[in-house]
Amino acid sequence: MIIRRKYLFYALAFTSAIIAAGTSAIDATISALYIPNAWAFAFSCFIVGTIISLMIVLVFSIPISRKESLGSKLIDPSFKRVRLVRKEELKLHVIAGAGNAILTLGFLSLLSILGDPSTVLPFSQIAILYLVIIESVTEKNMPTISEIQSSIIVTFGAILVSISLTGSISLEALAIVFLVINPAWVVFSIYQRKLKLLKIDNRPNDSLNIRLWNVIFACIFTIALLITSDFFMGTNHLIEGITASIEHFDWVALTMGVTFFSYVFYIRALGIGKASVTQAVRSSAVMFAIPFSILISYFNIIPPFSTDPVMILIKAIGTILVVLGIISFALAMMKAYVFINVKPGYPIEETMKNLWNIRGVTRVTATAGKYDFIIKIRIRTLVKGYEKIIRRLEEIEAIKKFKWESVLKEWEEI
């Protein structure tokens, strides 16, 4: 089945956001009623999460035909069966696992301080700003004015939505948000994307195995952090975590099972779009979290929703800003193919490398036929295409001539 790539991307990112909003409400319930210690909760999340994720991946490994397994049919076409980590993935998994462990600890600490998931979730959306900055440094993509504008709109929107239902802002919470959650989220997000873009056995890496191994590595890091804390601070988090995992296995298994699917869809979306854009779309979890918050406040799990008109107005403005930011992120992205002929006497490898070094070039292909190279470009504006790409192509001596073909619409096999 071929659907437009853009629709697939948004479907994955929005599904992930709705599930994330739902799980944050379950997390808030567990934190308020059963496991108030954030460290113990983080430990049980990963230890129970490892068991649950392994069970899910094993079920999805069941073959349904010679070529397909249940997972490749229902979740990710790149998936075949559960497998061990490959050597080329190891470093990326270690970093992404550390990111997830710190992120989860930060998130659960924040949840235990603030309680309301619709207040906690928006804070993690500030990561968009960090992502745009990091993409501009590490990837071949400079942020445009519209990207910066959108990031700022989403960030301020998230801050407004995050003012708690009782109208207060905690400084401790802000420190956790800016110094722990968001930097860890950026590391986690970037390395998950790098893993998704890897090719394993000549086929794209699959999101199910990526998620499973991420939970395992995050579990190892969390245990290490808990042991360090218990040793130096004299706390008893590890024992509390083990006890909580046994006593509340059902609740933690529920949240980790649902979270598994949220992340699988998120990782798949990351493989399609830029990390910052995926994050922007996923930030719609902010809106989806509000009905879940109302639901759990109705059951008296968190303090009741404020009926103060000013508070409601602030929340509404924040939500509108987040939505506007997301829309402006999603629009104005253009792609193009450039067909290139080269002069004789220049090594192909070197020309390939020169083409690859141009910012905005996402794919360089050496071909046999009428053209020697076909490159794919992804940019925000045509002006940028001229300034950043055409000028640079003209500087490459080996190039004899080239043709620019802007992509108007695109479909991709899923």
Partner 1 sequence: MLAAALVGADNFIMETNIAAEKFRWKTMISAYILISMRPGKSDRIIEEMRKIENAEKISVVAGEYDIVVRVHVKTLEKLLEVTDKLQLIDGVKKTTTQVIEKEISL
User: What residue ranges bind partner 1 (CB under 8 A)?
Assistant: 2, 5, 139-140, 197, 201-203, 335-337, 339, 348, 352, 356, 362-371, 374, 376, 403-413
Helices (H), 273-303: 275-282, 285-298
> Closest distance between partner 1 and the C-beta of residue 336, in Å?
8
Rounded distance, CA 303 to CA 31, Å? 14
Compare residues 328 and 365 and give the one whose CB is closer to partner 1. Answer: 365
Compare residues 249 and 404 and give the one whose CB is closer to partner 1. Answer: 404
Tokens of 15: 């599904």
Tokens of 403: 């043709």
Compare residues 86 and 320 and give the one whose CB is closer to partner 1. Answer: 86
Angle, helix 207-233 to helix 249-272, in steps of 10 degrees = 130
Compare residues 27 and 372 and give the one whose CB is closer to partner 1. Answer: 372
Compare residues 8 and 45 and give the one whose CB is closer to partner 1. Answer: 8
| CA distances to 161, 189, 336, 354 from 156, in Å | 9, 21, 33, 40
> Closest distance between partner 1 and the C-beta of residue 394, in Å?
18
> Closest distance between partner 1 and the C-beta of residue 378, in Å?
9
Compare residues 201 and 250 and give the one whose CB is closer to partner 1. Answer: 201
Phi, psi at 140, each rounded to 5° = -90, 55
Compare residues 168 and 406 and give the one whose CB is closer to partner 1. Answer: 406
Answer whether 211's CB lies under 8 Å from 260's CB.
yes
Angle, helix 285-298 to helix 5-33, in steps of 10 degrees = 30
DSSP class of residue 140 equals: S
> Closest distance between partner 1 and the C-beta of residue 362, in Å?
5
> Closest distance between partner 1 and the C-beta of residue 404, in Å?
6
Rounded distance, CA 386 to CA 381, Å? 9
> Closest distance between partner 1 and the C-beta of residue 355, in Å?
9
- Residue 67: which of 48, 55, 80 has the closest Cα? 80
> Closest distance between partner 1 and the C-beta of residue 68, in Å?
13
Single-letter code of the amino acid located at 397: E
To which H or E segment does residue 232 belong? helix 207-233
| Residue 412: count of CB within 10 angstroms of its CB | 13
